[in-house]
Structure 1
Amino acid sequence: MPSFSAPGSAHRADGLSDGELTAALDGDRPLVLGDAEVAAPGTGARGLARALGAAALVPTSGSTSGVPRVVALTTANLRASANATHERLGGAGAWLLTVPDTHVAGLMVRVRAHLAGTPVVHADGPFRPEGLVAGVRRLAAVAPGGRRYVSLVPTQLRRVLADPAATEALATFDTVLVGGAATPPPLLDAAHAAGVRAVTTYGMTETAGGCVYDGEPLRDVDVRLGADQRVLIDAPQVALGYVAGGVLEPFDGTFATADRGLLADGRLCVLGRLDDVLVSGGVNVDPAQVEAVVAGLDGVAEVAVVGVPDPEWGQAVVAVVVPTTPTPGDRRDLAEAVRAVVRSSLPPGWVPRRVLVRDSLPLRGPGKIDRRGLAAELADPA
């Protein structure tokens, strides 16, 4: 039985209708989402998807190469992802949709609800804490009983926790999935302390969304490490492959991510991206570790660490932080505190040469920090 949406929000100009989901999952009319038409220019993308046996062509966020790629997902991928999530969460439920359903996170919210026959309520407009509160009220009206879920990116979670009414509303969900980007431990701790049942997810478009929850792979998901600690995933959720110029680049059941990880007792800890390691003055610097230290500092809401070309050091380590409170007079003190906490916790060569304090960080897709864009901007501020 298909899902249904709350009155007035069943089909948005930039979203999917229930009819489109039914046709795609039945194999009648594949979805071509966002900019996925570039997989076969002109009018050929949907025909190509049908020839490949794909239910959807979905663009990535472009965080690996800087340019979005197009992923071919099958009905089996989508169903395996939805069923494994329902099993881990304790059953199907109604969903509040806060991310675009033209990206994989939003698409999977729609697919889960559609397959289970449960309601979906769309949050109104650009995400705001007050919009989440209103969405929770509408969700309670259309689904007064049963389980309720929502999927957020870390930036959204941070905004909610800064608003008492939104935090109270978020705590009513049975599970809050948090993914799309790494979730800083202090943010997760704050959510749990507020009574929010937050679960971190790890996955990507190529795996039909999250396939590792709180470090533990979902059913039938095999996670292993390759050379240089590269995370490799074998699972029924793994897509057919990438599509470009009308040609499929197959994954053959295994997706080699761009991430480094550790496995301990079957649990995955993601260390950061393989291509994020910087070389500054001949010293290898892991931005993820620097960010983890800085994120635990009082007064820091968000942080990104990137390398910027430097004639003396090769790459200069630059930290860009967003303060928890936008008080201009405290910004210099915050920058000094960032350097001090890194200096006391990590090797000397890892201390940022520059610390910039900004109101926000650039994002790509549904919530990933645009590190490439940020590095390029800092390298050429003009």
Structure 2
Amino acid sequence: MTRRVRVVDSNRPDEVFAALREALADGGAAVIPREPATEPGKRGGAGWPAPETTVAQNVALVIETSGSTGSPKRVALSADALLASAAASAGAMGGQGQWMLTLPAHYVAGAQVLVRSIAAETVPLMYGPGHFDPLRFARAASEMVHDLRFVSLVPVQLSRLIDAVESGSADVAAALRRFDGILVGGQALDDGLRERALAAGSRILSTYGSSETAGGCVYDGTPIGSTLVREVDGLLEIAGPVLADGYLDDPDRTAAAFHEADGQRWYRTGDLGRVTAEGRVTVTGRADNVIISGGEKVLLDAVERTVRTLAGFEQAIVIAATDAEWGQVPVVAVAGHPTTALADLRGIVAGRLGRAAAPARIVEFDALPHLSSGKPDRVQLTRLVAERTA
């Protein structure tokens, strides 16, 4: 059996919320939240879905994702996977409550805020489109009325909130303390920002997951619900009821990402990491974010974590650049004009990670490009750095 699909403008989260509620409860059309005016070849592409497009009956949500470095995928999520994720999240956070939506609804983290609200039978507070402003966030938080209040943020949003608190905003400080749980995901949460957030009284949980796992399925290193995580040859794999059905109209990608083993269906994440005997998960970076520089393997995520410990580089992005002598080298892109000299930066990184990991250049920008999810747009940034240093 099949069901039709419905494309909903993600800039209208109320409509996405209503459509998801129908899809989950009444067997309505599968929801495809999408940014308006999608360009051909970008998220969603032109001409899809055609009016006659249908999906499997169990599919309730389709997340179109290109990520920050990959080509577009259409992740098919069943109602069972979405509700299993919502239940696991509620169990990990101490119950169900009211959520604030601050993330785009066409990303899984934003869509899951709406799903959790449906499961909790609460009405989410919609922050709405536009630039993320700490004072606007504080005003919105003051309108939340449920006994339990939650929000999901990306690190750049949390950083702006903590900057406002440290600049003396009592309203933002009070707003953060109103939340019983703040999920922070989409990219790694560095230790410095975590410590600052905790010092401000924030109850934060770092999350790890993806569209293929119906959103975050590991909170502060611990798998939630009945999620299983294992390490295979240094790469993380995930099993459990939260897994997506696969990628629409893409059996080759589905077969490459999902497989059966040991009586479980597993998702190959493509992330490097470790799992302790007690089941604690540590993510060390993307397997595809590794370069060979002068014959040595360099994990760019590790370089980025090290660089971000330095003043002025807290939001820096480390990307790969071609080099005539070494093949590839790390390059640091940063917003503003940090005072640390390149020679000093190279010395610090080399001392911690080895000489091959030392960044070759620092490239300064007025602002770094980001996707609407808040993640760095590494594809655009790589192009801009190449143009700047040509």
Note whether the superposition's TM-score is higher than 0.5: yes
1:113-165 Cα shifts (integer Å, max 9, x gaps): 111112311114321111211111222xxx1x411000000010111111023
Greater displacement, 257-266 / 121-130: 121-130
Q: Percent identity?
A: 35
Alignment partner, residue 116 of structure 1: 120
- Whether contact under 8 Å (1:295, 1:303) holds in the other structure is yes
Pick closer, same or farther for the CA change 1:346–1:90 going to 2, 3 Å. same
Greater displacement, 249-258 / 34-43: 34-43
Alignment partner, residue 346 of structure 1: 353
- Whether contact under 8 Å (1:31, 1:55) holds in the other structure is yes
2:52, 2:194 → 1: CA distance?
44
For residues 254-265 of structure 1, the aligned pairs below 5 Å read 254-264=266-276, 265=278
- Whether contact under 8 Å (1:299, 1:334) holds in the other structure is no
Q: Of the candidates 42, 53, 56, which is equivalent to residue 50 of structure 2? A: 42
TM-score (norm. length: structure 1)? 0.87
2:327, 2:45 → 1: CA distance?
39
1:223-279 Cα shifts (integer Å, max 9, x gaps): 01123x111000100000011379993635321111100112211100000011111
Q: State yes or no: 1:292 paired with 2:291.
A: no
- Whether contact under 8 Å (1:78, 1:108) holds in the other structure is yes
For residues 1-382 of structure 1, the aligned pairs below 5 Å read 13-17=11-15, 18-26=17-25, 27-34=27-34, 35-36=43-44, 40-45=48-53, 47=54, 49=55, 51-65=56-70, 67-126=71-130, 127-139=132-144, 143=145, 145-164=146-165, 165=169, 166-227=172-233, 229-244=234-249, 249=254, 251=258, 253-264=265-276, 265-322=278-335, 326=336, 328=337, 331-333=338-340, 335-381=342-388
Alignment partner, residue 7 of structure 1: none
Pairwise CA distance, 1:64: 4.8
Pick closer, same or farther for the CA change 1:261–1:29 going to 2, 3 Å. same
AA partner of residue 129 (structure 1): P
Greater displacement, 245-254 / 281-290: 245-254
Pick closer, same or farther for the CA change 1:101–1:199 going to 2, 3 Å. same
Pick closer, same or farther for the CA change 1:292–1:13 going to 2, 3 Å. closer
Q: Which runs of 5+ in 2 are unaligned?
A: 1-8, 35-42, 260-264
Pick closer, same or farther for the CA change 1:287–1:12 going to 2, 3 Å. closer
AA partner of residue 249 (structure 1): T
Pick closer, same or farther for the CA change 1:291–1:112 going to 2, 3 Å. same
Pairwise CA distance, 1:70: 0.5
AA partner of residue 140 (structure 2): G
Pairwise CA distance, 1:337: 4.1
1:196-237 Cα shifts (integer Å, max 9, x gaps): 11100000111100000000001110101123x111000100
TM-score (norm. length: structure 2)? 0.85
- Whether contact under 8 Å (1:124, 1:131) holds in the other structure is no
Select the structure with the greater relative contact order (CA < 8 A; seq sep ≥ 6): 1
1:12, 1:312 → 2: CA distance?
46
Alignment partner, residue 4 of structure 1: none
1:10-62 Cα shifts (integer Å, max 9, x gaps): x98532434312211032211022155779542244x2x2x352011111242
The alignment's C-alpha RMSD in Å is 2.3
Pick closer, same or farther for the CA change 1:245–1:350 going to 2, 3 Å. closer
Greater displacement, 236-245 / 164-173: 164-173
AA partner of residue 162 (structure 2): L
Q: Which runs of 5+ in 1 are unaligned?
A: 1-10
1:353, 1:12 → 2: CA distance?
40
1:288, 1:94 → 2: CA distance?
34
AA partner of residue 21 (structure 2): T
Greater displacement, 239-248 / 263-272: 239-248
AA partner of residue 138 (structure 2): V
Q: How many residues align?
A: 357
Greater displacement, 129-138 / 298-307: 298-307
1:172, 1:19 → 2: CA distance?
27
1:32, 1:41 → 2: CA distance?
9
1:169, 1:33 → 2: CA distance?
29
